[in-house]
Each structure stands twice: as C-alpha cells, then as structure tokens.
Amino acid sequence: MAQSFPEDVLEHVFSFLNYDKDRNAVSLVCKSWYEIERLCRRRIFIGNCYAVSSEIVIRRFPDVRAVELKGKPHFADFNLVPEGWGGYVYPWIVSLARAYPWLEEIKLKRMVVTDESLELISKSFKNYKVLVLLSCEGFTTDGLASIAANCRNLRELDLGESEVEDLSGHWLSHFPDNCTSLVSLNISCLGSEVSFCALERLVARCPNLKTLRLNRAVPLEKLPNLLCRAPQLVELGTGAYSAEIQSDIFSNLAEAFLGCKQLKGLSGFWDVVPAYLPAMYSVCSRITSLNLSYATAQNPDLVHFVSQCSNLQRLWVLDYIEDTGLEALAASCKDLHELRVFPSDPFDAEANVSLTEQGLVAVSEGCPKLQSVLYFCRQMSNAALVAIARNRPNMIRFRLCIIEPRAPDYLTLEPLDTGFGAIVENCKELRRLSMSGLLTDRVFEYIGTHAKKLEMLSIAFAGDSDSGLHHVLSGCESLRKLEIRDCPFGDKALLANATKLETMRSLWMSSCSVSFGACKLLGQKMPRLNVEVINERGLPDSRPESCPVEKLYVYRTIAGPRVDMPGFVWTMDEHVSSRLSRVTERRGD
Amino acid sequence: MELELGLALPNQTPMEIKRHIKQKREFAEALENGDIENKKLCLLLWSGQPDEEDDDRRGSQRTDINKRINEEEDIIVGWPPINSVRKELLHHHQQYHGGNWIARVPGRDNNNGARNRISLLVKVKMEGVAIGRKIDLRLFNSYQALKHTLLHMFSKYLKIDRNGNEYTVLYQDKEGDWLLAGDVPWETFMESVQRMEILRNDS
C-alpha cells in the first residue's frame, strides 16, 4: 500500500504533520516512510541537549529549518545546579552551521550561549529569522549587536529571562536601516537603556511588528511615541510604569493606547504608579493575557484594573491581589485559563498580605475554564484542595507552593495527602504537578494509582521512605520528568525501577539519600542512561559506596557520557569504580 | 501592652523562629515609652555570618547575587522556588527602596496611610555580641523608641544600662557611609538606612 503512492505525495501529506509525536509515529510505519519523513522534517525539538549528538541529528534529518534545544534541568532556575555544570550551545551551533545553511530558527532554553555562538549564528545562515533565548546566560550585548547587524531578515528576537551582560544599550543601533522584517522583539531582561531614537526608528520601519516587550529603562513618558508608531501591536511589554503625575503624560498615554485596537497582551509594569493604570482602560476589554507579576500595585487599584479585563484568559500577578481580588477575578473573568500568583515577600514566614487558600478556591469555583495554576501562599487545607479538585476536574497544570516547607493542613494539622490525592483522582487530565506542605508516602500512593497522564512531577521536603518514590516510578505511566529535592528517598526505589528511567527524559534528585554505590550500580546496569553525580565537595574519602550523593541527574541518551563535564560532575558507569579507588588512594598518601 | 519577643538558637531558620514566636507567648516588660503602640515585634535571629560587604553589587553575576541573598536571608537554597529574575527584583526593592517597594512618585509624598504593611527589615549588630539581629523599622516613628527597643533586644547578651547613655547607635546609608542615628529627620533616616550598629562609648 505504501509503495503505491509516489514519494512526493507522501511528502505532501506529511507536511501537514506538525507535532513530533505524529512524525515519529509515521516514521515507524515502514522503511520507506521513515526515509521520506526524515528528508522532509523541518523542525527538530531536543528536550535534553545531552540526549543526542548533533551528528546523529544531522545524519537522520538532512534538511532542517528550525531547531529547539533545552540544556540545564528545571531546578537550575532555583540555583540548584552549580555554575559551570554545562549546557553549552557552541558545539551545536558549529555543527548546525556546517549542516544547515538554510536554518531559520533557533530556540534555546537554559543553555550557555556565548557571544561567539551568537556571532556564528549571525554569519552562518542565509535566511536567518528567529532567535529565542529563554533563561540562557553567558552572552553580552556585543553578541546581540552581531545578530542585529548581520541578520537581514530577522523576524524574532526574544531574550526571555536570560542573564545578559549588559555592556551598553548601543547594540540596538546595529539594526541596519533597511531592516524592516521584525515581528517580535523582547528585550525585557536587559538592564541598560537602549538608544530610544534607534528603538523608535526601528519600530517605525517594521510594519509587521506584533510583539514588543521593552525593558525597565524605557520611560513611561516615551511609551506613546512607540505605540503611535506601532498601532498594530498585539503584545506589549511596557517599561517602568511610573512617572510624575502630569495630566499631559496621562492624556498622551491614554490616547496612544486608544489607537492600539489589536492589543491582546500586556506585560512589564515595573514600578507601577497606580494613577496611570486607567490610561489603559480602553484596551482592557480586549486583553486576554496580562502579566502583572512585576507590578507592585496593591488593591483597590490592582483589582480594579484586572476586573476591567473581562476577556482575560491568562493572569500572572503578585499576591498583592489578595483573596478579595481573586474573588473579584472569579466574578468578572469567566474565560480564565491560567492563573499564576507570585509571592511579594517570599522570605518572610509571616504573611504581609491577606492571600490564603480561599482566593484559589474562589477562582476554581468561579472560572470554569481554569486549567493551569501556579500559586504561592502560606496556608493550605485538605478541604480547600478537595474543593479545588471537585470544582476543576479539567485541571492540567497544578503547582502549589506553600512557603514554609512541610507545613501541615493549617486547620487540622494533618498532612496534605488527602488534598493532593483528590487533585490527582479528580483531575484525570493532569499533566503537571508540583506539591508542597506536609506529605507522607500516602500521597505518592495516590499519585501512582491515579495520575496516569502525569508527565512532570516536582517534589520537595516530602515523603517518609523509598516507598513513596517507588509508587511514583511504578505507577505513573506517562511520567517524563521527575524532580525531587530534600526527600528521604534512597537506593532501593531507584534500583528497583531502573528500567522506568529509560522511558523518561530525566530524573533529578538532590539532598536525598541515594548513595554513590547505588548510582554506580545504576550506571553499570543501564548503558543507555547517563547517571551523573554532582558533588561539589568532591568524591568522599572514606566508605565512598555508602556515602549519599549531593545531587543526582539521570537522563536517557544515545550520545553516551558527556565530554564537557566540570570537575564536580561524574558519570557513574563501568569506569567509575577505578576512578573512585584512585581518588581514595591519592587521598591516603 | 503586649509584646511578643522570641529568642531562639542561632541554628534555627528564621521561619522556625517565627513559628516558635507564635507558639510561645512571652510577656516582656512593658516599655515606658508611650510612642510604641500595641504592635507585634518580630525579631529574627540572623546567624553570625562573617561580615560581608554587600554594597558592591555592580558587575556581579546573578548567581553571586543569589548566593549573597541566600546568605543574608539565611534560608534554604532554592526555596521558595522562584527564579533569579524575580528574586533580584524583590531583593533590589528591599535593599534600595528601604523595603517599601510601592513606587514613590518622584517629588511627591507617598502617603499610603495605615494600609502600608510592607516591613523595613534592617540588620543590627551590637559590639561585643556575636549574633546580629534584624528589626522592622516600620514599627517605629522616632529615634528614641528605636534606641530603647534596640538596647532591650541586646540586653540579654550584655548587662546594659537601660538608659543607654554608654552606647552610640550608628547606621549605614545608601552611599555606604556610616552616620550617627539621630542627626537627620526620621523620614530621611528611614529612606536611606541599610543597616545599623551599636557601639560602646568607652571603646
């Protein structure tokens, strides 16, 4: 049957397949489909840059136009991955530059990107269009200058929340006068001021600009200049949202916003002066995405502004919104899909605002489409979690962070096992879960039993024994990423579920009770896993086998052990025991 | 007049100490000074880390800032799980905007009245006492009340004359200079104080 269609017909059919899952399925049908598919795959997603080598990728897919790579594990966001761990993109860029002269898009997350890499990107690809750097580091504004200067058809430059060494704002002026192709520009993470004139001219000459996210240094008084030149904007990130209270600044701002009829998303809002919030009232009813998570506005100004946005689908906000604000949100924003509430004072055990579990319960009751939650608070109860679970069986992502580790149900002082158990039992489509508070092995039993669609699980300061880990590894059929910190999980569960690890992207365990010996055994037993131990204190001198490792990162790979590891990372494989004994011998003399 | 004062061992985390305070109510001697209203004083113990010059932030990589933030706050690494962008934003505000990070409109007096509950925590070290303390300056509105409370805080460690005549209270301003507390108006002091130190007059 497969042979009866000419190749170009199949290729045309395959061109409608955009998801990797579908393309992977298609390539398993038969050899000729595998061959046809691999020649016409244009987009590659690599969730772990160490899972595969660039050579293997290029050999299989000879004509790729877009590459997405992720480097460090998620817990790197919270400083748990030491500096120098890895995730260097340069070797990838070198290979990609050689193999894909027509590459158009590179998206990187949590990778180390140097100015060298950026310069190489800017000079190697004839039709380069999209550069997205999320939570990356290692480059300076000089690297950005190369991109601006050399990428003639640049459509998208998104610096995400990357750590950029800001040498000067001058890099923006490197965009040539004939560059008119920009569709999306996000420089919100940059500290220094870019030349406003250069920015203004750039915005004016790019008629297709849809997304513009400014940095804090762009003053509010100048925002109207940009908005007037880009009334077609769909997403705007303001700079600092503060200025002296002057009626002409206000009226200019209000008028400029009035002209932005396509605006759907707002972000930025550093240093909010509440008096200027009403300048945006004309766009509020069209806003579907609102990121106020840097905005220090409080109620009533805050809730009044949010309530104007009746079509809101996504809200990111600080806990200044309080329970009362969330109740108002639940009443006015019936289309809400996603809510993230960040803490304004995370390092104080005492609450500085009146935000409790009640706010989240209210939103879960009032917003029928709510499916994605990230919520920081200081108290939680099983009753509230059960209510949320019953209200929202359509929940897909649920991340709850109770600020105090191991905090029990504040009403009953019991563990929160029942509450989270209700979440996994009722929310059958749950794909991502982060838990906190006092949790015993019981909750993991519930998770293993019910969370069949769960793909990513984050656990901290929870559980009593290996039993907990065993429930998760043996029960969660769809699990891809598991990250654990400060839990009493050890060798038994890990070794008993070794084969499970090959079905997952990665496992992270830090400050647990996994021994060097177990890691070695795992590495020896499972050649298709990289079992990496991160021990900043070096290898233990005495009784290394039973010593617990500081951090463990296990991931499946077809690229073999890493070659770019720093001194404090070891791959535990068959070679490691000789290395271990050599270290202890040396220490002895 | 009810005050909750909790003192705990240096190896307790600030959060454990707070819980300790909540659980165990202690009645301290009423302060004579009528300026202090019936407010809860939360005293955090800051474990004696070696003195760090945390003024020079310029040029630091974000990870260095995170390390310093962690050491100053004496907290668990990576907890609560917020990323460095957010942490830096919060910390920046607490250090350089005197803990009150509601935007001040330039040239205007920001009067949020009683609704302003943002604390202004500064570290206080006393000469001769190994363990520094943290105090919330928002609970005071005069130097007299502040000095009185400070000496009371440290009286557990040293025999201090309650009048406090033998002690000088200094503070470090935004520019890094050490100044005598009491020289400038209280409001000015509140806007610039970064940390404080109490010295004996006879040294």
**pLDDT tens, residue by residue, A157-205:** 999 999 999 888 899 999 999 999 999 999 999 998 999 999 999 999 9
pLDDT of B2 higher than 50: no
Residues 6+ apart with CB under 8 A from A575: none
Most B CBs within 10 Å: which of A78, A192, A347, as the mutation test of the B interface?
Answer: A347
C-beta atoms of A79 and B108 within 8 A: no
CA–CA gap between residue A282 and residue A306 (Å, rounded): 13
Structure tokens that stand for A511 in this block: 């400050």
Query: Of the candidates A321, A323, A319, which has an alpha carbon nearest to the alpha carbon of residue A305?
Result: A321
Residues 6+ apart with CB under 8 A from B108: A244, A245
Average pLDDT, chain A: 94
CA–CA gap between residue A265 and residue A283 (Å, rounded): 10
**In 10 A of CB A367, how many CB atoms?**
26
Query: Of the candidates A325, A399, A394, A311, which has an alpha carbon nearest to the alpha carbon of residue A356?
Result: A325
Q: B71 or A407: which carries more pLDDT confidence? A: A407
C-beta atoms of B90 and A346 within 8 A: yes
pLDDT at B92: 67
Nearest Cβ partner of A271 from B19, B103, B117? B103
Nearest Cβ partner of A296 from B42, B66, B102? B102
Q: What is the pTM of this model?
A: 0.79
Strand partners of residue A251: none
C-beta atoms of A401 and B80 within 8 A: yes
Nearest Cβ partner of B106 from A244, A270, A294? A244
pLDDT tens profile B132-184: 777 878 777 788 888 878 877 777 666 655 555 678 889 998 888 899 988 88
In chain A, residues with a C-beta closer than 8 Å to the C-beta of B89 are 270, 294
Q: How is chain A split among helix, strand and coil, in percent rounded to 5?
A: 40, 20, 45
Strand partners of residue A314: A289, A338
pLDDT of B33 higher than 80: no
In chain B, residues with a C-beta closer than 8 Å to the C-beta of A462 are none
In chain A, residues with a C-beta closer than 8 Å to the C-beta of B86 are 293, 342
How confident is the model over A492-519, as a mean pLDDT?
Answer: 97
Structure tokens that stand for B192 in this block: 């610039």
C-alpha Rg value of chain B to the nearest Å? 17
Greatest alpha-carbon span in chain A: 78
SS3 A41: coil
Q: Within 13 Å of residue A233, how many CA atoms lie on the same side as its CB? A: 31
**In 10 A of CB B181, how many CB atoms?**
19
- The helix or strand, by DSSP H or E, that contains position A177, with its residue range, turns out to be none
**In 10 A of CB A14, how many CB atoms?**
18
According to the 3-state scheme, what is the secondary structure of chain B?
A: CCCCCCCCCCCCCHHHHHHHHHHCCCCCCCCCCCCCCCCCCCCEEECCCCCCCCCCCCCCCHHHHHHHHHHHHCCCCCCCCCCHHHHHHHHHHHHHCCCCCCCCCCCCCCCCHHHCCCCCEEEEEECCCCCEEEEEHHHCCCHHHHHHHHHHHHCCCCCCCCCCCCEEEEEECCCCCEEECCCCCHHHHHHHCCEEEEEECCC
Q: Is B59 exposed, middle or buried (0-12, 13-18, 19+ CB in 10 A)?
A: exposed
Band of residue B130 on the pLDDT scale cut at 50, 70, 90:
low
Band of residue B119 on the pLDDT scale cut at 50, 70, 90:
low
- What percent of chain A has pLDDT above 90? 90
Nearest Cβ partner of A347 from B75, B101, B108? B75
CA–CA gap between residue A587 and residue A541 (Å, rounded): 7
pLDDT of B12 higher than 90: no
pLDDT at B54: 36
In A62-124, alpha helices (H): 90-99, 115-124
Q: Within 13 Å of residue A22, how many CA atoms lie on the same side as its CB? A: 9
